[in-house]
Amino acid sequence: MKYKRILLKLSGESLMGDKQFGIDNNRLAQYATEIKEIADKGVEIGIVIGGGNIFRGIQAVEGGMDRVQGDFMGMLATVINSMALQSALEGKGMQTRLLTAIKMEEIAETFIRRRAVRHLEKGRVVIFGAGTGNPYFTTDSAASLRAIEIEADVVLKGTRVDGIYSADPEKDKSATKFDSISFDDVYAKGLNVMDLTAFTLCKENELPIIVFNMDKPGTLLKVVEGEKVGTLVS
């Protein structure tokens, strides 16, 4: 295995599958299967998942809601997704722990860095819910922060596309894919990989990012084994 400890970032929207809203159980089961495949090979896994399939703070602001209130609602949406993923993973016989940045003792442990690392060392999949616990920060920022805190080898950003392109491949058919690209080139070309706060955190801490298609079965394993899949930012 090329990567011993990873931070997997999933978008909330990806859990919708073909639905318009909420959680598609088939997609959830597929992700759980992919994650189990790499866990069985001894990879230590941290996961951060977004909440956009349930609620997005930014959209609430556009409707006139207070930004801080909207962001906290978004954090709670990530906890719902985290619980769903936890349940799917445990259904496949995996040991998991859900750690949240906001205290909710009845359903999750509160995030403590040393505790998170200990769970990983014991082979448990650790899901980090509620973002960073602060408004104005995205779940991308939470993924970068948690990855640095647990000393992950890489951030794996699972998306619907198979890497980073010169333009949006879903809109521009002439867009070309990068197999690898530097942090500086991403800035220079104005490419949208993660939000800038999250991206800068990775750059400053020399933490590589791989963007790949999570919806294609078997891709996660290939990435962790070091195959040239998706786009590597380093």
The answer on pLDDT for 53 being more than 90 is yes
Give this prediction's pTM: 0.96
234: Cβ–Cβ under 8 A, 6 or more apart, which residues?
A: 180, 182, 183, 208, 209
C-alpha span between 90 and 53 (Å, rounded)? 22
pLDDT of residue 150: 98
Interval 174-191 mean pLDDT: 95
Q: What percent of the chain has pLDDT over 70?
A: 100
Integer angstrom CA distances of residue 15 from 23, 96, 151: 5, 19, 27
- Looking at residue 87, its pLDDT comes to 98
- Mean pLDDT computed over every residue of the chain: 96
Domains of the chain: 5-233 (3.40.1160.10)
**pLDDT for residue 168:** 86
pLDDT tens digits, one per residue of 66-93: 999 999 999 999 999 999 999 999 999 9
- Whole-number Å distance between alpha carbons of 84 and 29: 10
Count CB-CB contacts under 10 A for residue 173. Answer: 7
Amino acid identity of residue 18, one-letter, is D
CB-based contact 74:51 (threshold 8 Å): yes
pLDDT for the residue 97 = 98
pLDDT at 166: 93
Query: How large is the average pLDDT for residues 97-103?
Result: 98
Q: Is the model's pLDDT at 224 over the cut of 90?
A: yes
